[in-house]
Amino acid sequence: DAKTTQPPSMDCAEGRAANLPCNHSTISGNEYVYWYRQIHSQGPQYIIHGLKNNETNEMASLIITEDRKSSTLILPHATLRDTAVYYCIVSPNSGNTPLVFGKGTRLSVIA
């Protein structure tokens, strides 16, 4: 079972920041937060991950609350190509537990 809760869908205007929330209130101390996205009919694509500090890369920023019970993925300037399903996953970085993908959030970027 997925250990995260995400809204099923969101809209965002093109050029604006897309903020995708994720609740993971039962996260354990050794579990990381991972984000993937899946464009229609393609395989998922890794975006970013973090433990407790905020992270940024060329694709997105990840903001994790201090209590680690929720996080937000930020796409700073959403484009139409960012329309996809975004998956938030929590999992230990131990190598013994494969990732569990929930239903994700379907982000629609609108022109």
Partner 1 sequence: DGGITQSPKYLFRKEGQNVTLSCEQNLNHDAMYWYRQDPGQGLRLIYYSQIVNDFQKGDIAEGYSVSREKKESFPLTVTSAQKNPTAFYLCASSIDLDRDYEQYFGPGTRLTVT
Question: Nearer to partner 1 by C-beta: 58 or 111?
Answer: 58
Question: 40 vs 111, which CB is nearer to partner 1?
Answer: 40
Total of chain residues touching partner 1, rule CB under 8 A:
23
Tell me which residues in 43-62 interact with partner 1 (CB under 8 A): 43-46, 49
Least distance (Å) from partner 1 to the CB of residue 99?
6
Least CB distance to partner 1 at residue 34 (A) = 5
Q: Is 41 exposed, middle or buried (0-12, 13-18, 19+ CB in 10 A)?
A: exposed
What the block records as the tokens of 32 is 């990381």
Residues in Cβ contact with 80 at an 8 Å cutoff, skipping those fewer than 6 apart: 14, 109, 111
